[in-house]
Amino acid sequence: MPQVNKPVCLVTGGSFGIGQAVCEKFLEQGFQVINLDIKHNPAQSDSIHWVQCDMSQSIQVQQTIQTVLNQYGRIDTLVSNAGMHFSATIEDTTEQDFDRVFNLNVKGAIAATQAVLPIMKAQQSGVILYMASEQALVAKHNSFAYNLTKSALASMAKTTALDYAKYKIRANAICPGTIETPLYHQAIQNYVEKSGADINQVHAEEAALQPIGRLGQAEEVASLTYFLASDQAKFITGSLQVIDGGYTAQ
């Protein structure tokens, strides 16, 4: 089995938005970074190893991570970031809608976690970070399925932290608020198309909802993610780390 001297960070959904920023942050900190994403970002550094993977397909996820492990011989950090947004009440969420959101946001994270735990146990070290949301702590309107999946990721961080602490494996959930990413812009665009609202006014209203007066940036979330993976955070496990400009403090 080939070995690498660099620590290895595996990021799911790392081609755009927060995932892309996380990949770049770990790369600059000296990690070998592998990005598992269904889409490739041609603007991303060639030093970030993109592996095509549909994170909603559990068997594909486990097989892909095993291939990565065969190549690199270790996985030090998993950032489970792949996810999608979906706006609807419980009445307006079909079974197909729910399955689509749950399969990507939750089952993909489960499959990735199951795939990395054996090597982390063997290493007696590892960090697993779930990209949840401030919606793991509070509710928002028209967000039944999305809110449920992000709450599930927060729960996974806590149970995984307890079950695997004896192997020196840490797990935490990162809970971003409104972050300016392609996912955010797509959600706003969808809302504007449905409601007929003025897009500039909607952006201004979103910023005004944050006590700090602006939207968060992907790079800020990436910095928190790297801190939680580092030895500076080695006493932090089973926690929900909020980065939301004060939104949930209200």
Tell me the pLDDT tens digit for each residue of 45-57: 999 999 999 999 9
Number of domains in the chain: 1
Residue 154 confidence (pLDDT): 98
Catalytic one of 72, 130, 146, 184: 146
Is 207 contained in some domain?
Answer: no
Q: What is the mean pLDDT of the chain?
A: 96
Residue 2 has pLDDT above 90, yes or no: no
Residue 183's pLDDT band (cuts 50, 70, 90)? confident
Is 193 contained in some domain?
Answer: no
Distance CA(175)–CA(151), nearest Å, equals 10
Residue 1 has pLDDT above 50, yes or no: no
Residue 4 confidence (pLDDT): 66
Residue 26 is part of which domain span?
A: 8-178+217-249
User: By three-state DSSP, how is residue 125 classified?
Assistant: coil
For the chain, percent of residues with pLDDT exceeding 90: 95
* 35 CB-near residues (< 8 Å, 6+ apart): 11, 14, 15, 19, 23, 44, 48, 49, 50, 51
Is 108 contained in some domain?
Answer: yes
Residue 187 confidence (pLDDT): 86
pLDDT tens-digit map of 7-45: 999 999 999 999 999 999 999 999 999 999 999 999 999
Catalytic residue list contains 146: yes
Is 198 contained in some domain?
Answer: no
pLDDT tens-digit map of 114-173: 999 999 999 999 999 999 999 999 999 999 999 999 999 999 999 999 999 999 999 999
Is 134 contained in some domain?
Answer: yes
Q: How far is CA 104 from CA 82, 93, 131, 201, in A?
A: 7, 16, 12, 31
Is 185 contained in some domain?
Answer: no
Residue ranges of the alpha helices (H) in the chain? 17-28, 58-72, 95-102, 108-123, 144-164, 182-195, 199-208, 218-229
Residue that has been written with the tokens 């007929």 in this structure: 196
Q: Is the pTM of this model over 0.75?
A: yes
Is 135 contained in some domain?
Answer: yes
Q: First vs last Cα of the chain: how many Å apart?
A: 52
Is 21 contained in some domain?
Answer: yes
The CATH number given to whatever domain includes residue 169 is 3.40.50.720
Structure-token pair, residue 243? 């980065």
